[in-house]
């Protein structure tokens, strides 16, 4: 039927949308090599926007059923590893945000290895819609340490600690899928998104109000994730396994 062919074409279009995130990543790498930090972060933001829309579209169009021979989840992981790990790790090196010399290169390599482990775990996304271990939001880490202007040593300590947290099996909120506190999380995420996008045209400078408004959601994200992980009912459930 014509309608089925159209829907199948739309399903392929969703896969094309996902793959276009890799093109955004390539542009971010190119901008980084030219020290165009604004352009690099804007390209990374476009990749995040694509990643935010392709999943809901895929579920709405039942892409897996319409194109069973093509694994969209694998494609998504490839593109996400590029944009959330490889590109920001490269940017942190080229922007001199990490310790100088071999120490910084080693730290960036550790980010790549830790995140490869995180992406490869079959339980990286839990059945109750959380991330297990720090979910490799290295694009945001790169943005914040770029704007905050900490020393290379401080940046290295932050990056190293977060890379280690990939291996620690704490559950982190999956913003648009974790059910508990989802209305609050999505409302705060919307404010975060507006503030963060508004920051991008100002780079390499920044507006303090926008920066700390954006960071407020990050504080909420970690605090709520740790609080949910430490909740007595959840601790008891883990001990019973």
Domain extents for the chain?
2-239
pLDDT of residue 83 exceeding 50, the answer is yes
As a dihedral over the C-alpha atoms of residue 153, residue 118, residue 139, residue 134, rounded to 10 degrees, the angle is -70
In DSSP terms, which residues pair with 173 in a beta bridge?
Answer: 130
Instruction: List C-alpha distances in Å: 186 to 19, 139, 222, 229.
Output: 26, 20, 15, 19
pLDDT of residue 234 exceeding 60, the answer is no
Tokens of 159: 């990056």
* The domain made up of 2-239 is a member of CATH 1.10.287: no
CB neighbourhood size of 98 (10 A): 25
In the prediction, which pLDDT does 58 show? 85
Please give the angle made by the CA atoms of 48, 229 and 53, to the nearest 5 degrees: 20
Which has the higher per-residue pLDDT, 227 or 212? Answer: 212
Output the average pLDDT for the chain.
Answer: 90
Show Cβ contacts of residue 123 under 8 Å, excluding neighbours closer than 6 positions: 132
Q: pLDDT tens digit string along 162-199?
A: 999 999 989 999 887 788 888 999 999 999 999 999 99
Q: Which whole number is the average pLDDT over 43-67?
A: 89
In the prediction, which pLDDT does 233 show? 54
Task: Count Cα neighbours of 124 within 13 Å in the Cβ-side half-sphere.
Answer: 17
Q: Which whole number is the average pLDDT over 60-81?
A: 90
């Amino acid at each position: 039927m014509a309608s089925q062919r159209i829907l199948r074409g739309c399903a392929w279009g969703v896969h094309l949308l996902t793959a276009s995130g890799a093109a955004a990543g390539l542009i971010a790498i190119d901008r980084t090599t030219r020290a165009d930090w604004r352009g690099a972060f804007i390209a990374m933001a476009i990749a995040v926007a694509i990643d935010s829309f392709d999943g809901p579209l895929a579920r709405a169009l039942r892409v897996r059923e319409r194109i069973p021979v093509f694994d969209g989840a694998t494609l998504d992981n490839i593109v996400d590893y590029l944009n959330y790990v490889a590109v920001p790790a490269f940017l942190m090196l080229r922007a001199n945000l990490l310790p100088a010399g071999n120490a910084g290169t080693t730290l960036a390599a550790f980010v790549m290895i830790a995140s490869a482990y995180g992406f490869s775990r079959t339980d990286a996304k839990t059945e109750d819609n959380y991330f297990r271990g720090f979910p490799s939001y290295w694009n945001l880490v790169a943005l914040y340490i770029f704007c905050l202007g900490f020393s290379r040593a401080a940046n290295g300590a932050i990056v190293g600690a977060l890379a280690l947290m990939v291996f620690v099996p704490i559950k982190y909120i999956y913003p648009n899928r974790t059910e508990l506190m989802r209305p609050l999380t999505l409302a705060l995420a919307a404010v975060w998104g507006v503030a963060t996008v508004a920051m991008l045209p100002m780079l390499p400078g920044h507006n303090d109000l926008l920066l700390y408004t954006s960071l407020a959601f990050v504080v909420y994200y970690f605090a709520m994730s740790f609080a949910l992980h430490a909740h007595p009912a959840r601790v008891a459930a883990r001990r019973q396994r």
